[in-house]
Amino acid sequence: MSVFGKLFGGGGKGGKGPSAQEAIQKLRETEEMLTKKQEFLEKKIDQELITAKKNGTKNKRAALQALKRKKRYEKQLTQIDGTLSTIEFQREALENANTNTEVLKNMGFAAKAMKAAHENMDIDKVDDLMQDITEQQELAQEISDAISKPVGFGEEFDEPGCSDCLLEQEELDKNLLEIGGTENVPLPNVPSTSLPSRPAKKEDEDEDAMEDLQRWAMEAN
């Protein structure tokens, strides 16, 4: 069994492989373990360096051993750095693959839902429905225009005799405008003598009485 097989807990040939989520979780746990190992090695390196400096002049053998251990720890630390880089790359690739899988799964689910929604739809029926809607809208507009049209105020009537009346009126106006010579019509002169004043009421009564007497005298003869 490979190292990754042992790491992920994979079984034999017939065993089912781990899911992407399980593999990502295992890789994160491994990263955490290696990070702690890094911190431990860094502390050991610092301790060996202190030991080498402390015994540099007093005990050269002890100082040399401390430097050798320091060098070995540094080599392990370098290997862990490389392993962490590989694990991080693999984890990111699995996370991207898992994201893509979820996206494709959801897109497929949405596609099935859309197909089910359109299953009972007929494009010809949709066209007929839209045509009916358009006709009803046009009819509604015509009804609105008819309702909003004023009735009985300023409405033009096309009666049989109305046109003839208008023509006769236009002809009369034209004849009046074409009458000429009105500028040269002589006007009577103003009288130079003053008009007699109207007799008073009493004088009128006297004249009437005289006329009655004369008429009676003639009848008596």
Q: Which domains are seen in the chain, by residue range?
A: 20-219 (1.10.287.1060)
CA pair distance 7, 20, nearest whole angstrom: 14
Q: Is the pLDDT of residue 66 over 80?
A: yes
* Per-residue model confidence as pLDDT tens digits over 120-152: 878 888 888 899 899 999 999 989 888 887 766
Higher local confidence (pLDDT), 94 or 195: 94
Q: Is the pLDDT of residue 199 over 70?
A: no
Q: Look at residue 219 in the predicted model and tell me its pLDDT.
A: 64
Q: Is the pLDDT of residue 25 over 80?
A: yes
Tell if the pTM clears 0.85, that is, is over it: no
